[in-house]
Chains A and B, each alone.
Chain A
Amino acid sequence: MKVLVAVKRVVDYNVKVRPNGDGSDVEIANAKMSMNPFDEIAVEEAVRMKEAGTATEVVAISLGEAACQDVVRTALAMGMDRGVLVETDARLEPLTVAKLLAAIVKREQFDLVILGKQAIDDDSNQTGQMLAALLGWPQGTFASHVVVDDDRVQVTRETDTGSQTLSFKLPGVVTSDLRLNEPRYVKLPNIMKAKKKHLEKITPLELDVDISTHLETIAVAEPTQRSGGIKVSDAKELVDKLRNEARVI
């Protein structure tokens, strides 16, 4: 089984992001960038499959500007076999990313693609599902448990009411949720080894994918600040307000 894992370079989870002065974009100059946390989980899952012998080759791919190779290197240091960077300075939407990934999948015949369920920058939560659609593959989204058994995959998914278990025959797409696993720490010697692993660079043009955009971000703003409401004098008044004014109980 050949596994592809998509990894995105995003503003680090710990960095607070704010709109820039004219509200045209977010201010992230010199902010720490990292691998999207859900993608780290996806990488970990793939590496475990490799270690367990269920996967024969595990490949990490990132799409975007040249600096995205940093997160591919991190994935390689975690144990992925080789990397691919689809390099472009253009802004990529989930649909475009899915198309580019589909092109790579077709080129190389992957059996399983694992993605993070969502990137913590645009919070779209779309790419895995779109990729599955474009390939006509089944999808196991928001996975908290994945079992590969020969050519079948069983995926337990997190749902609003608990969990759901699905199974499908490969090839397929899985997107990872937080509880799928705990990613490992990268070891120093593996960082060194990762520098020597193969990282292929390719452009959207070479993949013959149209990367024009469908969406435009017109403005970004801070969420409206809450302001203090009223003070009530006692429990009775509070219950009354909650019931009759706010109508939340």
Chain B
Amino acid sequence: MQRESMEYDVVIVGGGPAGLTAAIRLRQLAMAQKKELSVCVLEKGSEIGAHILSGAVIDPCSLDELIPDWREQDTLLTTEVSHDQVYFLQNKERAWQIPTQFVPASMQNRGNYIASLGNLCRWLSERAEALEVEIFPGFAAAEVLYGEHAEVAGVITGDMGLAEDGSKKPSFEPGMELRAKYTLFAEGARGHLGKQLIANYQLDAGAGAQHYGLGLKELWDCDPQKHQQGLVIHGSGWPLSESGSGGGFFLYHHENNQISVGLIVDLNYQNPHVNPFEEFQRLKQHPLLKDYLTGGRRVGYGARVINKGGFHALPTMHMPGALLIGCDAGTLNYAKIKGTHTAMKSGMLAAETVFDALSEDEQGGKDLQAYAERFKASWLCDELYRSRNFGSALKKWGLYLGGAYNYLDQTLFGGKFPLDLQDDREDRETLKEVADCKQINYPKPDGVISFDRLSSVYLSNTSHEEDQPCHLRLQDRDIPLVINLGHYDAPEQRYCPAGVYEIIEQGEGPQLQINAQNCIHCKTCDIKDPNGNITWMTPEGGGGPNYPNM
């Protein structure tokens, strides 16, 4: 197809913390050295922040490096963490608070801020625009554009105005080529193009398997009497412990009497009956959490996967003409459940690498090994190395032992306990047959603390153009019924936090119905389908959730 084309020095895919930080840094360097350098950021959400979902407790160290005077400029991050509490939930009633002296250093948050990452991104995007970065929300990078020498030469934006059957509607607009000397991929966890690049360039050769957790989150307006601005609560145990699954919850007291509460469910769970959404709903019924929520009003819902593989799973982050940054590469520090400062740092490192490369040679298209060197020399590498075993320890040895290991490692050895733990099965390989697993009976929602999935999705303000090709592609149309339904009772019905997949009985027997318009772009199905049969593709730009303050 003949496509229009536009050229930039650097194209950045994804307007999250990594992408925006890289854009800002590139333009800062260009301005400081009075160089011409064109930078654009593509964002599939309808606006910057629309697809950002995070906790978030944010370590400001990278923001300090990027915009040292941010504290003077704006009232951006205002809620400093005042207390940290860590709990172990023994069952649906009891909670055991871990004494402060035993809380791993990585879980202590003094000096960090509680904030909406989406709003931080909105702020960063204003900064970037002031530095003449072109930001294009509503445009997804749908394909990688390769050059003559198999280098990445940019991206192609998604076609707009295709009908469900793939035919062109009157409003059809073909996607455009955005050509760049260097392209930075900052799509966040399980990037759709990042995944392809990792496969194409075999970037994961030698790296451990990447693991993921599904993070579900709600935002509540809460009773001012119960609100303790600055309080941060983390915990694990019940209810996931009932099915032997891993994960943990968080509850942060933001400003304006708001609370964000969430559960991260490790996607290496084995029991196909597990329903992460329902686990989250029943978690909120635990008195520890329920107390804070009672009298409040739920105002937001969303979900997004989070990388857990850490250091071991980091792929090679450079390839000809492109770099992977932030969670697209997997720079999250799972010991701290923080990926913002690390994503930002990787964005800065990438920007500096690219800027140097373009200063030396205007051609572009090179494989920038220098990025790896910069990474190794940075605090980022050190930080990820120190927490390399956190997730795997919990996974391998369970909560008690793993927790003890983590405590020892993180607190006494500063993360340098001389042992490497790795976990090499992919998350999709862990499901057991349904016959071998215990049914889980989830309680019905009460409509006050717990809710059903569809009324939750409603709060994510999700929408997609209705008449477009389904963006959730099945490689094999038979697998959902023959394998998934037969062996695992169709786990996609349960793991999807938006109820996109439904098995319906209709005439000729069960069928898989895909309600793609509900998709909140969390990427779980792309990870957890037992045969890797589902591929998440970019829908028409601007589609997806519209999170206001997540």
Please determine if A and B sit in direct contact within the complex, based on CB atoms under 8 angstroms apart. Answer: yes
Contacts A185-B173, A188-B139, A192-B134 given; does A14 touch B4 at CB 8 Å: no
Q: Is B257 an interface residue (CB 8 A)?
A: yes
Inter-chain CA distance A129–B363, complex, in Å, is 59
Inter-chain CA distance A28–B50, complex, in Å, is 14
Whether the pair A15, B157 counts as a contact (CB closer than 8 A) is: no
- For A31, the closest partner residue in chain B by CB is B548
Inter-chain CA distance A175–B136, complex, in Å, is 30
User: Cβ of B419: which chain A residues have Cβ within 8 Å of it?
Assistant: none
Q: Is A207 an interface residue (CB 8 A)?
A: no
- For B136, the closest partner residue in chain A by CB is A188
Chain B interface: which size bin? 20 to 34
Whether the pair B549, A32 counts as a contact (CB closer than 8 A) is: no
CB distance from B460 to the nearest CB of A (A): 9
User: Cβ of B170: which chain A residues have Cβ within 8 Å of it?
Assistant: 182
Which segment of B84-92, B116-124, B495-503 sits at the interface?
B116-124
Determine chain A's interface SS by DSSP, over half rule.
Answer: loop
User: Cβ of B139: which chain A residues have Cβ within 8 Å of it?
Assistant: 188
Whether the pair A184, B461 counts as a contact (CB closer than 8 A) is: no
Whether the pair B119, A21 counts as a contact (CB closer than 8 A) is: no
* Interface positions of A from 172 to 210, Cβ below 8 Å from B: 182-189, 191-192
Instruction: Out of A14, A185, A186, A187, name the residue touching B461 (CB < 8 Å).
Output: A14
Inter-chain CA distance A32–B46, complex, in Å, is 8
- Which of A12, A13, A18, A34 is the most central at the interface, judged by chain B CB atoms within 10 Å of its CB? A12
User: Cβ of B171: which chain A residues have Cβ within 8 Å of it?
Assistant: 182-185
Q: Is B459 an interface residue (CB 8 A)?
A: yes
Whether the pair B136, A16 counts as a contact (CB closer than 8 A) is: no
Q: Is B546 an interface residue (CB 8 A)?
A: yes
User: Cβ of A32: which chain B residues have Cβ within 8 Å of it?
Assistant: 46-47, 50, 461, 546, 548
User: Cβ of B173: which chain A residues have Cβ within 8 Å of it?
Assistant: 184-185, 187
User: Cβ of A192: which chain B residues have Cβ within 8 Å of it?
Assistant: 6, 134
Whether the pair A185, B161 counts as a contact (CB closer than 8 A) is: yes
Q: Is B188 an interface residue (CB 8 A)?
A: no
Q: Is B221 an interface residue (CB 8 A)?
A: yes
A sample of 30 inter-chain contacts (CB < 8 A) reads A12-B46, A12-B546, A13-B463, A15-B546, A16-B458, A16-B459, A21-B257, A27-B299, A28-B548, A29-B548, A29-B549, A30-B549, A31-B548, A32-B46, A32-B461, A32-B546, A32-B548, A182-B170, A182-B171, A184-B171, A185-B171, A186-B138, A187-B4, A187-B173, A188-B6, A188-B136, A188-B139, A189-B6, A189-B176, A192-B134
Sorted from nearest, which 10 A-B pairs have the closest CB atoms?
Answer: A185-B160, A14-B463, A185-B173, A31-B548, A30-B548, A14-B461, A15-B461, A32-B546, A32-B47, A30-B549
User: A residues touching B (Cβ–Cβ < 8 Å)?
Assistant: 12-16, 18, 21, 27-32, 34, 182-189, 191-192
